[in-house]
Amino acid sequence: MNLTDLRPAPGSVKRRKKIGRGPGSGHGKTSTRGHKGDKARGQSKVGFEGGQTPLHRRLPKQRGLGTGLTSRGFNNGRYKTHYHIVNVSELEQFDNGTEITAEFLLAHGVIKDTSLPVKILAGGELTKSLTVVAAKFSGAAEALIAEKGGTVQVTEAARKMSDVIAENRATNAAARAAN
């Protein structure tokens, strides 16, 4: 067997339809496009619906809110504060009397980085007395920690996500300038 003996399976390769090569082919003259009109000449505009008012004109305008046909409504996500969420059950692994900070949680692999503030929630059980320092606590988590004889310390106001993004951009720009 040689490479020259290889052939595609019968019927698997379809022959190309030749158009515009004379009347004998059955696809001459208008080349299967019919007579005149937009569809004979080229492609219609993106969003064209045959003369019906297109969707992008049927929807009301919404200025300054995202992009695309359906970007309507209000989205304040850019200014939302994001947190590293830690449940009290994750604090159960530490010894009695331990002071728990974001750096401590980072060192013990509970959070991945300290770029975001930490928020403590009341998920799970807590049996130990701990001193917990975080940006925010749920009411139930604060009560649970206090109930077990621990203390709660709230750090400075949590940073807005827009500030974090601005800092990251500045850091990245400085790194690019250094290279």
**Taking the domains of the chain in order of start, what are their residue ranges?**
81-162
User: Which amino acid would we find at residue 69?
Assistant: L
**Residue 165 pLDDT exceeds 90:** no
pLDDT band at 13 (very low <50, low <70, confident <90, very high): very high
d(CA 110, CA 102): 9
Partnered with residue 85 across adjacent β-strands are 119
The structure's pTM equals: 0.50
Share of the chain above pLDDT 90, in %: 63
Q: What is the pLDDT of residues 24-52, one digit of tens each?
A: 988 999 999 999 988 889 888 899 999 99
Over the Cα atoms of the chain, what is R_g?
Answer: 33
User: pLDDT value at position 7?
Assistant: 94
Fold of the domain spanning 81-162:
Ribosomal Protein L15; Chain: K; domain 2 (3.100.10)
